[in-house]
Chains A and B, each alone.
Chain A
Amino acid sequence: MKKNVKKAIVLGSGALKIGEAGEFDYSGSQALKALKEEGVYTVLINPNIATIQTSENIADKIYFLPVTPFFVEQVIKREQPDGILLAFGGQTALNCGVKLYEGGILEKYNVEVLGTPVQSIIDTEDREIFANKLAEIDVKTPRSFAVTSIEDALKASDKIGFPIIVRAAFTLGGMGSGFCSNREELIMRAENAFSYSNQILVEESLKGWKEVEYEVVRDAYNNCITVCNMENFDPLGIHTGESIVVAPSQTLSNSEYHKLRELAIKIIRHIGVVGECNVQYALDPYSEDYRVIEVNARLSRSSALASKATGYPLAFVAAKLGLGYGLFELKNSVTKVTSTFFEPALDYVVCKIPRWDLNKFTGVSKQIGSSMKSVGEIMAIGRTFEEAIQKGLRMVGQGAHGFVANHPLKDKDIKEELSEPTDQRVFAISDAMQAGMSVEEIHQLTRIDRWFLEKLKNITDLKSQLAAHNSLETVPNEMLKQAKMMGYSDFQLARLILKTPGEDIENGQLKVRKHRIAQGIKPVVKQIDTMAGEFPAKINYLYVTYNGNEQDVEFQHDNKSVIVLGSGAYRIGSSVEFDWCSVNALNTVNASGYRSIMINYNPETVSTDYDVCSRLYFDELTLERVLDIIDLEQPKGVVVSMGGQIPNNLAMKLHRQNVPILGTSPVDIDRAEDRQKFSSLLDQLKVDQPRWASLTTIDDIYKFVDVVGFPVLVRPSYVLSGAAMNVVSNREELEHFLNLATSVSKQHPVVVSEFIEEAKEIEVDAVAKDGEVIAYAISEHIEFAGVHSGDATIVFPPQKLYVETIRRVKRITREIAKGLNISGPFNMQLLAKDNDIKVIECNLRASRSFPFVSKVLKVNLIDLATKVMLGEPVEKPNKNLFDLDCVGIKAPQFSFARLQKADPVLGVDMASTGEVGCIAGTYDEAVLQSMLSVGYRIPKQNILISSGPARSKVELLESARLLKQKGFNLFATGGTHKFLTENGIENTLLYWPNEDKHPNTLDYIRDKKLDLVVNIPKNLSREELSNGYTIRRNAIDFNIPLITNARLASAFIHAFCKMGMEDIAIKSWEEYK
């Protein structure tokens, strides 16, 4: 029975961050679709402007406001909804919902929580309540005792039994924790732990236990199903977000599988969830003993994965259950005839692999463990485990070609890597196996179940057989077929059999392709139908496999289909914004009367939702797989400009195979991508650019620097370790960087560019047709050039550019569009100093800022670009940035808190994991709104300024004066203290962390006496870095808002001194014109 709900608020999850990423765009979009289908008027609160859920036609009304109790209450007050959904916006939405409930806000405005009651959420969030709650129904949780003496610790160990883990309470980073296997070890450990804390936790150790998850659904009639179970490849001890995960479980017997399933249902009933919940177990690898580790009473990363893995629309169904429906009353959207009350049967195996970007950070520990560091994930589908994992390792996109045929790990102790895993563990297993280490030994070191290891060994065993051949003709077809069934790519085969060197690998792999096609070794397309073929399904959710010989679908070669290539795993530099572009391209393809085909493999996306396209290939974006699909589908053309760099990089390769690429010609794409060619074009057009050179010797680098002067931007083509590029301001730094991080040679030239200080950075997002610009958006960065455009705070329309600058930028844009004969989307980055404009780069594809500018301008640039590419008629929009009565600001979201030890400083390499975009009536309001949306708080009283170089000191002077006027207490480190005092601004000196004097910055941070820390790095000198680093890192670890850029600090300070939180207008997107 459906509840009478007319209007409901849905809370989003805000910016993408580690632990809370694109999966909530998918969940939220599904929930909104479900509500819309039921005629419920939906109001979405989410400042993440790049998401699909914050698009027209998904929610009825959108507020780009922070998901915090204050703002949500304001929206409730204004909108007067009947209901609110808390389960679709991750922990952010859940926490906010709990606070609204506890604060009596929901009751005050008579808003009903649709779905799981808040009390049930509270019961699962608090560890102690949770353990007690489960004890009521005889369900086991890990045994744990909090003790304050060695004696009590020993008593606790008597109750628990060894092995035991000791944790010091209230410490960061697991200091004082460790395993003990007997009383003596426990005494030693406990003594050590008590030196950190006066309370320690004595817990039973579950190290090495299997980690298994169930996704459970319950309706208001108490009917329950488990949609999927999943088994972690990595045993307990590694966060499930950091683990390779397979679905369904592979090593569980029927009785284990169903014992845990039965418990999951018992738990969800007892807690009283209505909708979806996730139960995580530890399962003893030597018996059927288990512990419940965690219950998440909301949609989660795992539930998004389960949805993609099974085809069961969990979020969609959960939203409908929240409205009061029973599972049996809803239809299975795959079969259209059966109901949602069933459990999917899989006839394939999926493998999820995390994507880390730890190389982007300085100082971060690469070890993986109980906290999450990965920024994205992929899902691979196969009909053997070998096929799925090899596909998956390629999809992760960090240079691996599968489980084998990669470059061996460098400078790694394999045994250490196996027992103390980093992000490279799976490749350490590969190296170990190829070096002859036994499955048993690897198992002992990793505790990974032997079954997984044996399957991996099948891959390395076959590798040796393949590598024994030197020509394709001598490889028996049986063996070739077997290799493909184990997920070997043509690339791997070229490398192993043909021994093709790297520079010729494209030809090598095409040779393999030609040979195997001639031998009739071709893949087939299978459906994901939720029923393992038991019932007919008209489902368009597909994958490609070599383990089968019948196609599940037919191919219409009518020139009416268009392939859009997606963006792959979310990573730093490419995330939900490219999914927005891809989905919008699909929408336009559909609306133009073509069948849309999406290829992508990221389970956290909307583009991999089978209801947004005519066909979804959940598969690789490699040349091989894309060609396979093109051979089968024979589309009208392929769109490579929506999914960011991955499809962009395929453009030329596909073009060489005569694949029709829609839009700008790949030859022109190459002219923009190739630095030398692009530079010549700019010279030809008489457009200025920073001086640069590609150099192959250290001497040449010095000669170049003598001409252009420091600072310079150094971009090596081959990186040994650390950051891929850097700005260096003197000879010492240059030497340091070149010695440490790069190798310079003929094969690996280094690109050195002049770096212009205090220049404004400008972005252009535009669409052209046959070289003529149709629409454009110019935005400016708040920070000066030098901060990566993905980490910069971007203002659109620009508020502080000269009209002359804008005019010149427009002219350059037109000239470049013409020069490259662009048809489709493109993005340019430029520098401006005193109306002097230089072009930094130009990408002939959609960019990160397309959704932001499209939504602020209310002109969908992707729709226009797609129409251009399809050859549909387009009209120039009758609106441009000068017509806007509002300001949009896009601000980056950082996840430094999750990345222990990483230096939270910004540079030329991107470090942010997400972004928000807010729209407001004034610049200050937009700054404040966006800063609050990414987690900054308006300081109450105390602000520390450590303003770095002289330039920043001057820059911040005005801000300091303003703060003082507003009654804030200022604290400053040495130089800043002197400078401010000299300028008549009263402030208190705090000593540097390395000075043994008080009051010390560190004490102030650790005692949480500061409300905001402004720390501007001065230079790269070691002492400066170390002192600054300690301040920055501690600010992050103690959850004190930190700003490291002077221009941004000024903007923020100015904004909160001019207005308060309550002055922010509560206005929806449609109200801004």
Chain B
Amino acid sequence: MTNERQAWRGLARVLASRRLEGPVAEGGDSGGRVYHHLTLLAPEVAAAAVPGQFVHVLCPPRGGAGGAPYAPASATPGLPFLRRPLSVHDADQARGTVGLLFWVKGPGTAGLAAARPGDRLDVVGPLGNGGFPLGLGPALVVGGGIGLAPLLFLARRLARRGRVTVLAGVAQAGDLALVEPFRRLKDLAGLIVTTEDGSPGTVPGTVVAALPESLDGLSPDGLSGAVYACGPGPMLRAVWDQVSARPGLTAWFSVEERLACGVGACRGCAIPVRTGPAGETASPPDPGRAPDYRLVCRDGPVFDGNLLDWEAL
């Protein structure tokens, strides 16, 4: 299970930094969430990264140039302290660029969002296991909210190989900017967008509600193909409930846990899995046995749905 691939660590130049604008005017209902996109020049990362992997970014302290708009009114000094994991949103090997898409949540992402073109960011990556396994059969990519971040790179790679449908859900009109890059993807078999506020041109509701139809359409019998999902915990669980009820489908999930080292050294990012001592899936797990864990940073962040211990997650 040792990750023998080597990650790169260095300073990546910021080529572009932009706040995502949804179709709703400034001041519209964006649910208070601000999203940001960075383009970094990091040829080593761009060349090595596969969909599902992440980079570990040292975030500049807030208060830097342009930091004000995102800085919370009162803030604890000494934060951000650790690096922040962000998925590879997109990678362009020819240009040597890596795109990051993130929700401006707290001090780390606020500092990142303040980065300006020409700034240099200390980056380690790509990290994580081999990412989402790319099959040849029909694929359904399911993302909720900022969980869409790692899925653009995935959908792009999958579309080169076969039939890919994307099911993308966001809460409200203000979040639709997260979906925009998927609209520009060529060769998608389909793009279904859901919004909980029923924005025009979208399917009202959640991806979970829209999933049965998408699964039916995945293959003629609705029983073969691969599902790839990233999003909030309850969404992933609901996706797994539906997928696991259809034998023949495989499903891969990108999950999150708080990271410290990001390289498998500190054992800080454990998530519960269902395995026997030799690593084989033992389902249901023996309740008397000590829990088994895998490391999100080293063994994930992408896991086979069969491996995850959904009761304990």
| A and B assemble together | no
B residues contacting A by CB (< 8 A) are none
